Amino acid sequence: MPLKRHTVQWPWQALLVIILLGMTVSLWIATKRVHYEWRWERVPQYFFYLDEEMLSAPFAGTVQKITPEGTYSRVEIAPEGGGQPTTVTVETDTLKVKAGDPIADNDDIGAERHWKIGPLTQGLWVTIWISFVSGFVGLVIGLITGLCRLSPNPTLRGLAVLYIELIRGTPLLVQIFIFYFFIGTVLNLDRIVAGVGALALFVGAYIAEIIRAGIQSIAKGQTEAARSLGMSSTETMIYIVLPQAFKRVLPPLAGQFISLIKDSSLVSVIAITDLTKSGREIITSNFATFEIWFTVALLYLVVTSLLSQLLFWLERRFARSD
């Protein structure tokens, strides 16, 4: 029995490391050649930031006393004509009054701070939500259309072909405009619903062809064996054909869903504040062009990489179950 030859891998791995280091150094040199002041310290505030809300006096009166409690201070205010004092808690370093000061109604007393979600985090959530919903709806549309594509009924088959060719033959950006300005106006749809609908119809056409190809890849003997056991056509499709086809189409479906996340950036043209639109709005206010766009690109990369790893894990798990 011949011995297996083991290929030496470390030279190729070393070459990969050298290439990656070379790309990193090249990128660093390129940034140094650009006459631009890099200020990455401005980026974190667009994920989460400490908001300061000014608190004012609820009525005219006098500050009776101020009681410090760590970083906070309790300001006790007595009304002018007598009555029950009111206590307002503010950050100590924001105090604008002292004990004994007379104050008028709505005078500033101090501020309280609390963390808020920044525009990049909000935009990232909108992107993930739109991608998930449109992907799920698109999967349902693609499954139904893919089955209609293989139907012996010429009407269903013709409608499926017309839908697929119409969607695949026109740009997604044009479809979003048509869906929002025409269909959305006729049906009085919200821009979020219009964006999700356009993306779902777009991805559904491609998923339909993926599912059709997956079903056709299953050997006809599987169907014939199921029918010989007394199973109906519907039962054969649900219990025999589709489970096997799903395992085979999982890799192209993964690629389609990853593309959907990136394509979702186009809904920003109809004023949906997704990750791309959030980045553009930030740039208009602070002109941190390179930092924001690099951050936006990195966030898209993180989301698509996590989805890719999840689908790869599912693929391996299904492979072990065979």
Q: 91-150: per-residue pLDDT in tens?
A: 988 888 888 888 888 888 999 888 899 999 999 999 999 999 999 999 999 999 999 999
Q: Indicate whether 113 belongs to any domain.
A: yes
Q: What is the pLDDT of residue 84?
A: 85
- Sequence-distant (6+) residues with CB within 8 A of 190 are 184
Q: 12-30: per-residue pLDDT in tens?
A: 899 999 999 999 999 888 8
Dist CA 145 CA 204 (whole Å):
8
Residue 56: half-sphere exposure toward Cβ, Cα within 13 Å: 7
Q: What is the pLDDT of residue 322?
A: 61
Q: What is the pLDDT of residue 220?
A: 86
- The amino acid at 264: S
3-class SS of residue 133:
helix
Say whether both 226 and 149 belong to one domain: yes
Per-residue tens of pLDDT for the chain, all 322 residues: 455 566 678 888 999 999 999 999 998 888 778 777 888 888 999 999 888 889 898 888 888 888 898 888 999 998 887 778 888 889 988 888 888 888 888 888 999 888 899 999 999 999 999 999 999 999 999 999 999 999 889 999 999 999 999 999 999 999 999 999 999 999 999 999 999 999 999 999 999 999 999 999 888 888 888 888 888 888 888 888 888 888 889 889 999 999 999 999 999 999 899 999 999 999 998 888 889 999 999 999 999 999 999 988 888 887 776 6
Q: Which residue is associated with the tokens 């007394």?
A: 230
Say whether both 198 and 263 belong to one domain: yes
**What is the tally of structural domains in the chain?**
2
Q: What is the pLDDT of residue 5?
A: 60
CB-CB contact of 110 with 179 (8 Å): no
Q: Indicate whether 213 belongs to any domain.
A: yes
In degrees and rounded to multiples of 5, residue 108 shows phi and psi of -70, 135
Nearest to 184 by CA among 201, 164, 203: 201
The first and second tokens of residue 195, run together, are 């964006």
Nearest to 258 by CA among 307, 190, 224: 307
Q: What is the pLDDT of residue 3?
A: 55
Say whether both 91 and 208 belong to one domain: no
Give the end of a domain, one of 117, 141, 161: 117
Say whether both 105 and 179 belong to one domain: no
Which run of H or of E encompasses 121? Answer: helix 119-149
CA distances from 68 to 59, 62, 89 (A): 22, 18, 10
CB-CB contact of 300 with 262 (8 Å): yes
Residue numbers of the domain that contains 80: 47-117
**CATH assignment of the domain containing 78:** 2.40.50.100
Nearest to 193 by CA among 209, 206, 176, 205: 176
Q: What is the pLDDT of residue 246?
A: 87
Q: What is the pLDDT of residue 136?
A: 96
Q: What is the pLDDT of residue 208?
A: 95
- The amino acid at 61: G
Give the end of a domain, one of 86, 117, 148: 117
Say whether both 106 and 144 belong to one domain: no
Say whether both 110 and 147 belong to one domain: no
In degrees and rounded to multiples of 5, residue 188 shows phi and psi of 55, 55
Give the end of a domain, one of 272, 292, 310: 272
Q: What is the pLDDT of residue 191?
A: 92
**CATH assignment of the domain containing 221:** 1.10.3720.10
Q: Indicate whether 156 belongs to any domain.
A: yes
Say whether both 101 and 135 belong to one domain: no
Q: Indicate whether 139 belongs to any domain.
A: yes
Say whether both 137 and 268 belong to one domain: yes
Predicted TM-score of the model (pTM): 0.83
Q: Indicate whether 322 belongs to any domain.
A: no
Q: Indicate whether 72 belongs to any domain.
A: yes
Dist CA 62 CA 104 (whole Å):
9
Dist CA 122 CA 277 (whole Å):
11
Dist CA 99 CA 65 (whole Å):
5
Dist CA 97 CA 111 (whole Å):
12
Q: What is the pLDDT of residue 131?
A: 96
Q: What is the pLDDT of residue 286?
A: 84
Say whether both 79 and 140 belong to one domain: no
Q: What is the CA radius of gyration of the chain?
A: 30
What does DSSP assign to residue 99? T
Say whether both 139 and 248 belong to one domain: yes
Say whether both 138 and 264 belong to one domain: yes
CB atoms closer than 10 angstroms to residue 289: 13
Q: What is the pLDDT of residue 4?
A: 57
Say whether both 254 and 137 belong to one domain: yes
CB-CB contact of 198 with 181 (8 Å): no
Q: Indicate whether 112 belongs to any domain.
A: yes
Q: Indicate whether 13 belongs to any domain.
A: no
